């Protein structure tokens, strides 16, 4: 009853306000007065700003029971946690406890436990979920070539190995300057080099060759992009190969007859005498 | 000399001496009054009281327990060896904590946990059931869209509600 009278009061005042030009000031005034009358008549504790002196506020609903009570034992867990998500105590039907116990007590329970939320969980990566992922990815995969079943065959057909690293980090940018580095590894035995060419090649590359494994490693990071570094590495390998076969001007290399002996120098003639002569 | 004092009683005594010193020299002379250094760590510690103050697990364990009995509230890869962007992530964290604290005024039950997975920023918060659900949904949507536009990355808010704060012990 009192609420109705205050509502009528409010509407009358509102019309007057819009009639005159001082809309904002009057409407603020009327709102304030309506609010004060509501408090004096209603006395419902907190002022109800949502319903302005209108019908009774909806009673506060109680929180329902958690979902764990209704879960079946053989449910599809991949539907509960399909993707990486923080720990939800109402969705995980396990009596997990985490935390340092109070003296003479037990670790705190999972409800409202911030420690369980802080840690990364793998509830979305159960074996059943991983099986589903593999099944979905199989559509995009092709069979491994049957002729390349041993690593020896792989080395024989694909002697040059390119290695580069991708970096994933948490942040706004995907760029990482360390990702442009390219390592090119090749066994010198797979290259067509005769004795002279091999010695010249070893002289040219210096420390990039490992004697134990017979692998030449060329590392390029001078260009800003990985594609450019890869092209540069391949270009370096090509130039080294042709240089060692004597394509360019002649080169002065020491001959190591035996380790410990004094080196003798040999001037090698080149097939095509280029500009250097 | 300062290192040998390690109790509150000595501190109180020194304060009394300092005060009495000021009283004696109030006749016009100026001097420098110093007390011994308070060799006590006060960071993030709630002092023991009468036993009627409820505190949460987060407040009860002190910062030197982080990594032993407590986890980290914010996780990202920038603090690893050779990774960059740690300062930017920290500033973002501080802003997000203040933003969520102010948006959900007096509804937070505990500290906010921030997780970063690639580009996505997930803010996990425990709330009290002080607001009706439709207000919660509005505030969640508002925070998510505003923070996404601010940081140019998807921001997700994962809210869990409780009836009241979880008490760990009383101090």
The larger pLDDT score, comparing residue A204 to residue A129, is at A129
Chain A residues with beta carbon closer than 8 angstroms to that of B124: 86, 117
Please give the tally of structural domains in chain B. Answer: 1
- Helix A23-42 and helix A2-19: axis angle, to 10°? 170
Residues of B in contact with A170 (CB under 8 A): 75-78, 89, 116-118
Residue A104 sits at the chain B interface (C-beta within 8 Å) = no
Position B93 in a domain: yes
Please give the mean pLDDT across all residues of chain A.
78
| In-domain check, residue B101 | yes
Q: Give B104's DSSP letter.
A: T
CB B118 within 8 A of CB A167: no
State whether B113 and A108 contact (CB < 8 Å): no
More confident residue, A277 or A249: A249
Closest CA to B70 of B55, B79, B59: B59
| Nearest neighbour of A112 by CB, restricted to B126, B151, B169 | B126
| Interchain CB distance below 8 Å, A114 and B57 | yes
Q: Name the minimum distance, in Å, from the CA of A170 to any CA of chain B.
A: 4
- Reduced to 3 states (helix: H, G, I; strand: E, B; else coil), residue A132 is helix
What does each of the 171 residues of chain B score in pLDDT, given as a tens digit? 444 545 556 566 556 555 555 555 557 889 998 888 888 888 999 999 999 999 999 999 999 999 999 999 998 899 899 888 899 999 999 999 999 999 998 899 999 999 999 899 999 999 999 999 999 999 999 999 999 999 999 999 999 999 999 999 999
Give the integer Cα–Cα distance in Å for A262 and B83: 49
pLDDT of A31 strictly over 60: no
Inter-helix orientation angle B133-151/B86-103, to 10°? 150
pLDDT tens digits for A243-271? 888 755 555 555 555 555 555 555 555 54
**Å from B128 to nearest chain A CA?**
10
> Is there a contact between A249 and A226 (Cβ–Cβ < 8 Å)?
no
Give the confidence band of A115 by pLDDT, cuts at 50, 70, 90.
very high
**Across residues A181-207, what is the average pLDDT?**
90
Nearest C-alpha of chain A: how many angstroms from B108?
Answer: 12
Residue of B nearest to A121 (CA): B115
A12 pLDDT band (50/70/90 cuts)? Answer: very low
pLDDT reported for residue A107 = 95
Strand A252-255 and strand A264-267: pairing?
antiparallel
Q: Do A100 and B61 touch (CB under 8 A)?
A: yes
Instruction: Determine whether the interchain pair A114/B132 forms a contact, defined as Cβ–Cβ distance below 8 Å.
Output: no
Q: In the β-sheet with A209-210, what is the strand arrangement from edge to edge?
A: A161-164, A182-187, A215-220, A209-210
What pLDDT is recorded for position A27?
A: 43
**Inter-chain contact B77–A115, Cβ cutoff 8 Å?**
no
Check which CATH number belongs to the domain holding B107 and give it.
3.30.300.20
B149 in reach of chain A (CB within 8 A):
no
Residue B146 lies in a domain: yes
Lowest mean pLDDT among A41-45, A215-219, B2-6: A41-45
Q: Is the pLDDT of residue A47 over 60?
A: no
A18–chain B nearest CA distance, Å: 30
Contact B117 A60 (CB under 8 A): no
Residue pair A108/A99 in contact (Cβ under 8 Å)? The answer is yes
**Using CB atoms, which residue from A84, A90, A115 is nearest to B117?**
A84
Does the beta-carbon distance from B110 to A112 stay under 8 Å? Answer: yes
Contact: A114, B88; criterion CB under 8 Å: no
Residue B13 falls within a domain, yes or no? no
Q: Where does residue B110 fall: left (phi above 0), alpha (psi -120 to 50 degrees), or beta otherwise? A: beta
The ipTM estimated for the assembled molecules is 0.77
State residue A13's pLDDT score.
46
DSSP B53: -
Mean pLDDT of A55-71: 79
In whole angstroms, give the CA distance from residue B52 to residue B97. Answer: 28
| Structure token pair of residue A82 | 């399909």
Cβ–Cβ of A112/B162 closer than 8 Å? yes
Residue B12 lies in a domain: no
Q: Is residue B20 part of a domain?
A: no
Contact by Cβ (8 Å): A60, A22: no
Q: Measured between beta carbons, which residues in chain B are less than 8 angstroms from residue A86?
A: 113, 115, 122, 124, 158
Q: Find the angle CA(A242)-CA(A190)-CA(A147) to the nearest 5 degrees.
A: 130
Minimum distance, in Å, between the CA of residue B120 and any CA atom of chain A: 8
pTM comes to 0.69
Closest-CA residue to A181 (of A225, A137, A141): A225
Q: Decide if B131 is inside a domain.
A: yes
The boundaries of the domain holding residue B119 are 54-170
Please give the pLDDT value at position A269: 55
- Residue B2 in any domain: the answer is no
Contacts of A60 in chain B (CB under 8 A): 132
Q: Are A78 and A56 in contact (CB under 8 A)?
A: no
Distance separating alpha carbons of residues A243 and A44, to the nearest angstrom: 95
* Closest by CA position to A98, among listed B168, B139, B153, B31: B168
Q: How far is B48 from chain A (nearest CA, A)?
A: 15
């Amino acid at each position: 009853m009192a609420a109705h009278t205050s509502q009528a009061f409010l509407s009358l005042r509102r019309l007057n306000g819009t009639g005159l030009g001082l809309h904002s000031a009057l409407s603020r005034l009327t709102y304030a007065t309506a609010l004060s009358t509501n408090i004096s008549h209603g006395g419902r504790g907190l002022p109800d700003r949502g319903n302005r002196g209108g019908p009774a506020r909806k009673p506060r609903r109680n929180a329902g029971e958690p979902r764990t009570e209704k879960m079946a034992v053989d449910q599809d867990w991949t539907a509960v946690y399909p993707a990486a998500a923080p720990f939800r105590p109402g969705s995980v039907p396990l009596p997990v406890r985490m935390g340092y116990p109070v003296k003479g007590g037990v670790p705190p329970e999972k409800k409202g436990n911030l420690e369980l939320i802080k840690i990364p969980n793998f509830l979305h990566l159960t074996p059943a979920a991983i099986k589903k992922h593999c099944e979905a990815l199989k559509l995009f995969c092709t069979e491994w070539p049957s002729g390349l079943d041993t690593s020896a065959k792989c080395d024989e057909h694909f002697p040059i190995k390119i290695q580069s690293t991708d970096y994933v980090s948490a942040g706004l940018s995907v760029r990482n300057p360390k990702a442009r580095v390219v390592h090119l590894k090749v066994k010198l035995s797979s290259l067509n080099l005769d004795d002279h060419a091999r010695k010249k090649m070893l002289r040219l590359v210096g420390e990039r060759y490992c004697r134990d494994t017979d692998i030449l490693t060329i590392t390029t990071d001078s260009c800003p992009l990985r594609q450019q570094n890869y092209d540069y590495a391949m270009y370096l390998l090509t130039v080294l190969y042709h240089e060692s076969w004597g394509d360019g001007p002649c080169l002065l290399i020491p001959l190591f007859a035996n380790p410990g002996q004094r080196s003798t120098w040999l001037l090698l003639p080149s097939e095509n005498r280029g500009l250097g002569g | 000399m300062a290192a040998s004092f390690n109790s509150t009683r000595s501190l109180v005594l020194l304060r009394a001496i300092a005060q009495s010193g000021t009283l004696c020299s109030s006749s016009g002379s100026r001097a420098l009054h110093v007390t011994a250094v308070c060799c006590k760590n006060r960071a993030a510690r709630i002092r023991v009281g009468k036993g009627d103050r409820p505190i949460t697990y987060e407040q009860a364990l002190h910062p030197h327990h982080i990594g032993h009995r407590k986890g980290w509230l914010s996780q990202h890869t920038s603090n690893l060896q050779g990774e960059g962007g740690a300062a930017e992530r920290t500033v973002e964290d501080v802003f997000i904590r203040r933003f969520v604290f102010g948006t959900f005024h007096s509804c937070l039950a505990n500290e906010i946990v921030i997780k970063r997975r690639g580009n996505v920023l997930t803010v996990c918060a425990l709330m009290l059931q002080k607001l009706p659900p439709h207000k919660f949904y509005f505030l969640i949507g508002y925070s998510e869209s505003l923070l996404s536009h601010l940081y140019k990355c998807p921001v997700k808010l994962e809210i869990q509600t409780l009836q009241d704060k979880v008490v760990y012990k009383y101090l």
